[in-house]
Structure 1
Amino acid sequence: MNRCLFVVPPLVGHINPLVGVAAELASRGHDVAWAGVPELVHRLAGPDARVFPSPVSWADADRPVRPPDIRGPEALRFLWERFLVPLADAMADGVRDAVLEFRPDVVVADQQAPAGALVAERLGVPWATSATTPAEFTDALASMPKVAAWNDALLRELRLRIGDPEGTADPRFSPRLVLAFTTPELAGRPARGGDGIRWVGPSLAARPSAAGFPWEWLDPGRATVLVTLGTTNTDAGGRFLTACAEALRARADRLQAVVVDPEGVLGAAAPGGTAPPTGPGAGPGPGAVRPDGDLLALPAVPQLALLRRVDAVVCHAGHNTVVEALWHGVPLVVAPIRDDQPIVAAQVCDAGAGVRVRFGRATAARIGPAVEAVLDDPGHRAAARAVGAALRAAGGAAAAADHLEHLLDDELQDELQDKLQDKEEG
């Protein structure tokens, strides 16, 4: 039995892929623990998950509010200076305590939780990388050398504070193992990441889901379109969701829509919407637009289960949503907002598995034809199914667990060889 410590940021999309890996390792008899925000890890990985608090204290209020209009290098600067580096500094002590108490044989550090890699490096513990998005593989800063140099300097300074000052490995890319939760059929050939990349595809595990979804509402005689902007884009989504509702209602003769609407913006905005139902047996629950046959808006949906029943997805090009949709062979309309989303959107389009609309200019007049394109053009669905076949063949959580076991075996063999050499020299 080996011990594995997962180090994760307080981001749902970066924890979910590792939930299945942790469960797979546990089923094989390994001891698994987490370093992260306990409330969030417990919600996603289950109440019995062993979690070392890191950072010791974290609330949504601790996360800086990013201006919705910043893009490009300014968005990157905000991400690193205001979120990733402060988060790494805040996590370092908790990760160190977790390693010293749990004594893992390997640390698996998310790319956006570099404290995991740097603390493991400093304490001499083997570490692997969890790459829940392919953005870092593209070397997007290659054409911006000054920005790349600034980013490298931030990481060097961070290493001096919490890592091994003599270390040389990029904390976003373990030289031993990088678990990439995608495949080359979608992500393309990596520009960086080294020989340690292992393409495992999406890790889909049972996860908490919204109760009371009205499955009987789905009309088998019409196409179903799912609209979602993920868990971190509610600040930017009101106008876009309203435009989607207008576009999809105009095509109600042939399709119906399920819209993830956590802020309830469609309660009043969606034509035909009614006040949220209340009382026993009221239906879809607080914050929902009562289904009228054309559109159902809910604060949350059981996405994995629903993807088996939908014909197209309209989304922000968040990586988890994209690979989960394609795993099910569902084509996409992607409207990237920020961060890695333009990169993922480009990958979807390059694979032929969807079409892109500009988020800032997405009106009903643009969204409607895009949805028609992915529903009507058999090429998009064929491409989605081809990418989905590759994603499924990659192995997911089981493949990731295999690679971690191989890493542990290699480390054991190296340790034995070192002991034999010491004995011979002695």
Structure 2
Amino acid sequence: MRGGIPLPNGFSPSGHIAIITAPLAGHVNPVQVLARALEARGWRVSLVHMAAAEGLVTDPALGFSALPGGAAAMFDAYIDTLVEPTGPVRLTRMIRASAAMTGRLLDEAPAVLERTGVTAVLADAVEPAGPLIAQKLNLPYAVATTGLPLLGEPDVPPAFLGWRYRSDRWGRFRNRGGYAVTNLLMRPITRVVETRRRQWGFEEGAAPRVQVAQCPRGLDYPRRSLPSTFLYGSPWRSEESHEPDLPDDGPPLVFCSLGTLQGSRRALFATMAQACAAIGARAVIGHGGGLSRDEESALPGDPLVRAFWPQTAVLRRCSAAVLHGGFNTVLDALAAGVPIVALPIGFEQPATAARIVRLGAGQTLSPRRLSSRTLANALREVIDQPSYARAARGIAAEIAAGAGAPGAADAITAALATPA
């Protein structure tokens, strides 16, 4: 027994788990930490995707099996659609590109899994190909939820909309409309999955053995119909081996990040740096490789700038964070007890920002036409009003008590070890 999850007597896993996820750092980074914990329990673990995704794998605990088709151009086009995810035309392109990626996995991954001796599947909740591939090959599967839970129910808005929680009649009416529009927009992906399901002779999908999430319960909206297989958790992170090179005295520090996909927004980083300077703070900017050296040097307000910082260690030294609402960075900020000003750009970021506000751990502003003055006012409030840090520390305590990747690995191992 590890992390409170009992394993069958005498069970020692020796199978091969294939991870099917989105080929993005925000998904691959946490699942490869989970892969390390699964390897420690006796599993062999491999990510299965297009060859171009192999560069995202940085932990040797996670192997890689490439789909046979090259199609680097398709991969690059997919990434390009994610850089600007807002607006009806861009959103449509992104959904179509995601549908094509799902179709590619359905076409080619089953043969790869058979060839490499895969015995179980770990499917990221954002990629619908995983469960269907597992069903085709008659393999047990678990679901990894790296972001917000994608569990539709009447009181909870769709996980891509920044609506506040309302459990009254109006809230349910609004949510029904939200789900109807979401389902309509997602039809390109749904058609790919349903067409393949019919071709393979499946009327409906098999249920996962377990669904593990990074999300702590306290960050999500209240739920009335949570599946019995769903487990809230805490971030899947490795220990960072060194402390950041940051000044020990001087102005308070504010961590500023837009993740890896939106890290080229120089004007938004300039606004962050100006806002920090306006309140007597110093921005610590991580741009994910999106800025050139000249663009780094041109940022105002004397910020500390790098492509990447040891994020969890930096956040422990900061008084606040300005974030785009990417789920991993939000979790890291809350784990450090740091209040947040969220500037959601797309994907699930508005919904994550709405949960931060409901929690009382921060504020949210629109990044469009954002002024340094507006951001400075928000930063001053979340730093000066103790209630914001107190709310963040409340979630930090829940995260600290969680079992992280080891607990998720135990739950997956116990579930996959149990006969259907």
User: Residue 325 of structure 1: which of 318, 329, 333 is its match?
Assistant: 333
Contact persistence 1:224–1:256 (CA under 8 A): yes
Structure 1 residues 68 and 122, CA gap change in structure 2 (3 angstroms): closer
- Identity among equivalent positions (%) equals 26
Match of 2:123 in 1: 109
Q: What CA distance in whole angstroms lies between the structure 2 residues aligned with 1:24 and 1:70?
A: 33
Q: Deviations over 1:212-242 (max 9, x none)?
A: x961x4233432111000011135x222111
User: Are positions 1:62 and 2:96 aligned together?
Assistant: no
Partner-residue secondary structure (3-state), 1:133: coil
- Which amino acid in 2 is paired with 1:259? I
Structure 1 residues 69 and 175, CA gap change in structure 2 (3 angstroms): closer
User: Are positions 1:224 and 2:268 aligned together?
Assistant: no
Match of 2:275 in 1: 247
Q: Deviations over 1:372-395 (max 9, x none)?
A: 112111111110010111123231
1:190-269 equivalent positions in 2, closer than 5 A: 190=223, 194-206=227-239, 215=245, 217-235=246-264, 237-252=265-280, 255-261=281-287, 262-264=290-292, 266-267=295-296, 269=298
- Which amino acid in 1 is paired with 2:95? W
Q: Deviations over 1:235-279 (max 9, x none)?
A: 5x2221111111112233xx222112331374353236xxxxxxx
Q: What CA distance in whole angstroms lies between the structure 1 residues aligned with 2:278 and 2:125?
A: 42
Q: TM-score, normalised by structure 2?
A: 0.81
User: Are positions 1:124 and 2:143 aligned together?
Assistant: no
Instruction: Identify the range of structure 1 (299-308 vs 64-73) with the bigger mean alpha-carbon deviation.
Output: 64-73
**Residue ranges of structure 1 left out of the alignment (5+ in a row):** 273-293, 415-426
Q: What CA distance in whole angstroms lies between the structure 2 residues aligned with 1:90 and 1:374?
A: 45
User: Are positions 1:160 and 2:174 aligned together?
Assistant: no
Shift of 1:397: 0.3
Instruction: Identify the range of structure 1 (87-96 vs 322-331) with the bigger mean alpha-carbon deviation.
Output: 87-96
Partner-residue secondary structure (3-state), 2:80: coil
Q: Deviations over 1:173-213 (max 9, x none)?
A: x5432222102200122477633211122101257x9x9x9
Structure 1 residues 150 and 46, CA gap change in structure 2 (3 angstroms): closer
Aligned length: 380
Structure 1 residues 326 and 160, CA gap change in structure 2 (3 angstroms): same
User: Residue 101 of structure 2: which of 66, 84, 87 is its match?
Assistant: 87
Match of 1:185 in 2: 218
- Which amino acid in 1 is paired with 2:183? A
Match of 2:167 in 1: none
Match of 2:176 in 1: 142
- Which amino acid in 2 is paired with 1:338? G
Shift of 1:70: 6.4
Contact persistence 2:103–2:192 (CA under 8 A): no
Partner-residue secondary structure (3-state), 1:317: coil
Shift of 1:112: 2.8
Structure 1 residues 75 and 187, CA gap change in structure 2 (3 angstroms): farther
Shift of 1:167: 3.8
User: Residue 169 of structure 1: which of 205, 216, 237 is its match?
Assistant: 205
1:252-331 equivalent positions in 2, closer than 5 A: 252=280, 255-261=281-287, 262-264=290-292, 266-267=295-296, 269-271=298-300, 294-331=302-339
Q: What CA distance in whole angstroms lies between the structure 2 residues aligned with 1:327 and 1:193?
A: 24
Q: What CA distance in whole angstroms lies between the structure 1 residues aligned with 2:44 and 2:295?
A: 45
Partner-residue secondary structure (3-state), 1:121: helix
User: Residue 353 of structure 2: which of 342, 345, 357 is its match?
Assistant: 345
Q: TM-score, normalised by structure 1?
A: 0.80
Q: Which structure has the larger Rg?
A: 1
Q: What CA distance in whole angstroms lies between the structure 1 residues aligned with 2:374 and 2:318?
A: 21
Contact persistence 1:73–1:147 (CA under 8 A): no
Shift of 1:96: 1.1
Instruction: Identify the range of structure 1 (311-320 vs 198-207) with the bigger mean alpha-carbon deviation.
Output: 198-207
Greater relative contact order structure (CA < 8 Å, 6+ sep)? 2
Contact persistence 2:209–2:416 (CA under 8 A): no
Q: Deviations over 1:314-368 (max 9, x none)?
A: 1101111101111111111101011110000001110011111111132100111
Match of 1:290 in 2: none
